[in-house]
Amino acid sequence: MNENTDIRIIGRSGTRLSLIEDTLLTHPEFRVQRKLVVDFSKDAIADERTSDVLIADLSDNWEEELALLGSMRRASERAPLIVVSSEDSAEIIKAAMKAGARDFFTHPLPGDDLVAAIAAISGESKVRDVVPSSVTLVMNAKGGAGASTLAANIACLMSSTRRRDKTVLLDLDFAGAHQPLYFDLKGASDVREALSYVHSLDETALQGYTLEHSSGVHLLAATQDLAMYENTVSDTALAEFVSLLSMCYQQVVIDLPRPAEPNVLPLLQNADKLMIVMQQTLTDVQGAKRLLGYLDSAGVPRSRIRVVINRFENRHPVTHDDIESTLGDVEILSVPNDYKHVSTALNAGEPLVERTRNAPVTTAIRALTDNILGVRKKARRRFFGILPPKSADTEQNAGGKAA
């Protein structure tokens, strides 16, 4: 257990908050603070996100309170939750679990059990503090631009021996998931089924739906059974699923085929990084401009967005500068065209970044991944002093103009 455990108790009844506080008084390692509220609100819950444990004392309004707590399941939004109620009803327990509560208690509180539940969470929060999770969406400005290729290789680099981040790749192309082919994997249960059980899923159950690649990447995808295809997943189920993934993995990479579908809007709004993949055609430029406009109207800050010109060629009539001037204020990177290496890796079912480590296309995808992760290029060291970074020309050869 942490030497000091920060506990926040939130609720609408001062008397019941005192009862919880009194139960924890005999533990000097607990730093307990109460928060009496008129109503549960997003701000009141988010304010306490850095504490080790949040104990929510439910009122008669429990349905709304739990729905709100459930909509804030990511570690960056809410502290791990324990729910306390004065009513012992199966319905409330079920709703509490659905909201991601780690434990549920009723008044009068069983002191020892509550302390044990806090201790378990507090031990885990040490790990969580060190490894915050990050969600990266990879999507096309226009179909076929290369989003799946880049998503597979970015995920692979994130979980590679260099970083060893626990990484999951979620393929949201329900009609024709390609990711299992990219990794030569088959056999897991369908991710659409996992999504239909999202309310009752936990980390253990989730493993039944994942395929594991030797790189360490865990893959979640639809099976190739088109007869089962039905895109009826609600926005809340998708958001809840991704929020569960971000509790279990350090890196969540999503291959997102149709970014304008209404059910993925919460994913766009909450992702840490959004990669728009395009090629050097006018229709791609138009698609990227439209998508950027859509993201602007959805309130996604440009600082989270990167445009990637895939299959980049220096001597192309649609130049990097043309694209930059049309798209305006957004960071642009590029990945060179390399049909031979990319298609050979795909046909072999091996990620490009594992099969062809030193090709310029791999270097560019590595630079892209470093950009997502916020890794700065190290200055090359010599015995005396530090060399300046490589010249822009050398960079262009390695990964296109801006990679």
For Mg ion (CB under 5 A), the number of binding residues is 1
- The stretch near Mg ion (CB under 5 A) out of 61-69, 148-156, 194-202, 203-211 is 148-156
**CA–CA separation, 135 vs 167, rounded Å?**
10
> Out of 5, 122, 134, 148, which residue is the one contacting Mg ion (CB under 5 A)?
148
Tokens of 57: 């004392």
Residue 396 site contact among Mg ion, ligand ATP, none (CB < 5 to 8 Å, cut-off depends on kind): none
- The nearer residue to ligand ATP, 11 or 360, going by C-beta atoms, is 360
Q: Which residues pair with 278 in a beta bridge?
A: 309
User: Site residues (CB under 6 A) for ligand ATP?
Assistant: 140, 143-149, 173, 178, 257, 310-311, 335, 337-339, 342-343, 346, 361
Residue 401 site contact among Mg ion, ligand ATP, none (CB < 5 to 8 Å, cut-off depends on kind): none
Which residue in this structure is represented by tokens 């050869």?
A: 397
Minimum Å gap between C-beta 338 and ligand ATP is 5
Residue 132 site contact among Mg ion, ligand ATP, none (CB < 5 to 8 Å, cut-off depends on kind): none
Residue 360 site contact among Mg ion, ligand ATP, none (CB < 5 to 8 Å, cut-off depends on kind): none
Minimum Å gap between C-beta 312 and ligand ATP is 8
- The nearer residue to ligand ATP, 148 or 356, going by C-beta atoms, is 148
Distances 282 to 141, 285, 287, 320, 355 between C-alpha atoms, Å:
11, 5, 8, 12, 32
Q: Which residues pair with 105 in a beta bridge?
A: 84
The alpha carbons of the chain give a radius of gyration, in whole angstroms, of 24
Can you list the alpha helix ranges (DSSP code H) found in 13-61?
14-24, 42-46
354: nearest Cα among 135, 212, 136, 183: 183
**CA–CA separation, 211 vs 224, rounded Å?**
15
- The nearer residue to Mg ion, 149 or 246, going by C-beta atoms, is 149
Q: Which residues pair with 306 in a beta bridge?
A: 275, 331
- The nearer residue to ligand ATP, 100 or 360, going by C-beta atoms, is 360
- The nearer residue to Mg ion, 86 or 281, going by C-beta atoms, is 281
